[in-house]
Structure 1
Amino acid sequence: MADRLKGKNILITGASGGLGERIAYYSAAEGAEVILTARSEARLQTVREKIISDLGAACRTFVLDVSRTEEIESVFKAAGPIDILVNNAGFGIFEPALEASLEDMKSMFEVNVFGLIACTKMALPHMTAQNSGHIINIASQAGKISTPKSSLYAATKHAVLGFSNSLRMELAETGVNVTTVNPGPIRTDFFNAADKTGDYVKSIGKWMLDPDQVAQKIVSIMLTNKREINLPVWMSGVSKLYQLCPAVVEKIGRGAFYKK
């Protein structure tokens, strides 16, 4: 692992906390230079200082709102060539479609989908030119199992999976790998916005994934041709069953799905 990542430039969006921060930490521990982006400069600096003090690793930061294309272009030019891109920035709001605002819908697509695609397009020219690289897109089990009260969020993650799967085939002869990460609920600040009532976290709190374990799994497959990471295993099994028998899963699981 150390040899594979040593000296590689890894850019991570949404790296000021949660899963992105942990991916940065474990990547730096393996000898990579991590380039952290997020909207909060103060939080980025906190993560950077921890990485430098704990690991003595190279770490750069850039303030970036991935919903702003002009900022993406500027940051990627300043960052220079990227060997691994982790598209982690994203958010969700759990509301029925009838109640969700068009503004929230637009914001989720701008960050979760359009921002991810724009970052990918900025990173790809160098990767294809050197015939190696890795695009890692943080999607969700919501992109595989549609559930009530997350229709807009699920739509963005379905889009991420569709884009990633097509991109993987387009890049098959280039040496650039594309991996999607499809986790279930992770114990991070994501739910501060997604689950404003706190009911969902109360219902499934004991099943939530540890961000450190998810991050370590992601770092372990960097610069390999791993197609997908699906976590937890039991939820991955449900998503496979859903693909085969959607009506059955929707009928049996409706009560559980409404727990959010």
Structure 2
Amino acid sequence: MSRTATPPVVDRAPINRAAVDGTRDAGVAASFWLRSAAWSVDATLIGVATALLTARSWLPGLARLDAAVERIGEALPQTLQAAVEQASGVSDLLPLLLGDPLLAQATSAMSSAIWQLLLPPILMFTVLGALYHVGFECSHRRASPGKRLLGLWVESRGGRRLRPVQSLLRFGAGALSWLTLNAGHAMAAMPPQHLALHDLLAGTRVRTRPGNRLPLWAMVWLTAFMALQAVVVLKWSFAVAARWQLALESALIG
């Protein structure tokens, strides 16, 4: 007897599109505060590495800056006294102060000292940041450690994994978000897409799972992070203001 041939079994399992075209579940747009918390974690990690790698330049840089500020403090009384003697009215004081060569040299020295102090860590932070973000965002997880911690990932506008060039473009475009006094970052607060300026320029987006909200620990962390920045800026500003006040008092009292 002849047997009827059994047709081959066809595997009708669903195709894993993520494995085929590099896409993944779309998720939803990540909120501004989730993104901010993730960025602050990443910035802290990069900042610590930057501080360790540039530590040798700190003390000399701070010493140069302190000397430059002291030089201004020494020049200001002489300059102010000379301006008061030469000025025929209050309106003449500012041009005389700005045109004084001694004060101009001291101000130029302070500007140079600030750049010498800040330039090495800025360059180091930029290089490390580029390697950090491009490396992690182009990985199969599509997320930096900070984003992973907050349940976020970065992808192209079509839902694909970023190419290194696209990730580098996104990182570089982030400079424009800073140069716009953070207006570019604030754009991420605008629903429904929550796209920052660098996302728009690079064709990317930051996604998260539906229902993901900022956890309590992240709220505390983000508050402490911003408070620490404010304290550092205020402390430095008060220190400089105190130097200027002493110089003015010395000039006025004689």
Q: TM-score normalised to the size of structure 2? A: 0.26
Greater strand fraction, Structure 1 or Structure 2:
1
Q: TM-score normalised to the size of structure 1? A: 0.25
Greater helix fraction, Structure 1 or Structure 2:
2
Q: Pick 1 or 2: higher relative contact order, CA cutoff 8 A, min separation 6.
A: 2
